[in-house]
Amino acid sequence: MKYIIGIDGGGSKTECAVADLSGKIFHSNLGKPSNFLAIGIDAAVENLFELIEGALFKIESDFSDIETLLIGTAGAGREEDARLLESKFNDYTQGEGIKIKSVKVVSDSRIALEGAFSGRAGCILISGTGSILYAKDKNNFIHRNGGFGRMIGDEGSGYSIGRKGLAAVAKELDGRGKTTLMTQLLNKKYNISSAPDLIINVYKNNFDIASAAETVLAAADDKDSVALQILNEEVDELLLHINAVMEKMKSKKLDIVFTGSLIANKNIYSDMLRKRIDDKYSSVKIKEPDNTPVIGAILLAKELLNV
């Protein structure tokens, strides 16, 4: 029997699904992370191989039965990075005496989009540590907005919100800004009570900037004006993503799914975003995803096989 294998690879875990050529899932399992930009490409390849090997063992099959393998993983947003992982994975399997008929690497956002709408046209807005928007139009053309990374992009993300929150705290500690509840919350959670504390944590102790978004959300929940201003600014940035993709698609109608830890979960920020979308875009409909990203990997692999 021939199989399709779909992979949803992330920074904390990787999910594998095995399906027949009709797309029916036979088995799924979880494994180690596979974001090769975070853990290194050699470690990612080894983790992927180990996960797939384990899945095949469970269904009493082997690599020769794989018709196609589609890996959707964090870090593969750029074409050259995706092709590099493909090459490294093929080199590794061939070194083990294994030849897989077809291996394709795409971004984790791509499989999330495919799964969310079961292959139909639609849009996913991702806001977690970073941010990006992916859309598929009625002609199956993929549009992308954002995804420029924390140095020059990631507007509306946890990193951007966290950075602005820390900047507001820095201004208060320095006597240059408004008093904000975020300063108290940051001290309570991270024992940061002075400008030197903040500087040391951010620049010496590798403070997780995105984690400070929780402090901003907590302060905004308590009606802190500085925190609310930050969230309003970041909502505006995500609305720019939506507006831009509608311009690209030349469509006033859009079905959108929220993904990413910051907006997929209910909190003051996701509530603000939903309300602003409802107020500004009457033809934009926020929906729940049809399927998980790993199912999206299976659907995309099936599409590439033309079966």
In a shared domain, residues 97 and 132: no
Q: Give 263-306 pLDDT, tens digit per residue.
A: 999 999 999 999 999 999 989 999 999 999 999 999 999 988 77
In a shared domain, residues 90 and 57: yes
User: Would you state the pLDDT for residue 46?
Assistant: 93
Cα dist. 32→47, 160, 291 in Å?
A: 6, 28, 22
In a shared domain, residues 100 and 129: no
In a shared domain, residues 176 and 35: no
In a shared domain, residues 179 and 221: yes
In a shared domain, residues 155 and 227: yes
In a shared domain, residues 111 and 127: no
Greatest CA separation for the chain: 70
User: Would you state the pLDDT for residue 307?
Assistant: 53
Number of structural domains (the chain) is 2
Alpha carbons 292 and 242: distance in angstroms, whole number = 22
User: Dihedral of the CA atoms 251, 252, 257, 260 (nearest 10)?
Assistant: 90
Backbone angles phi, psi at 192, to 5 degrees: -110, 110
- The domain in which residue 146 lies consists of 123-287
Q: Which residues of the chain have pLDDT under 50?
A: none
User: Would you state the pLDDT for residue 188?
Assistant: 94
Percent of residues, the chain, with pLDDT higher than 70: 100
In a shared domain, residues 206 and 299: no
User: Would you state the pLDDT for residue 23?
Assistant: 87
Q: Which two tokens stand for residue 11?
A: 């920074």
Place of tokens 């969230």: 231
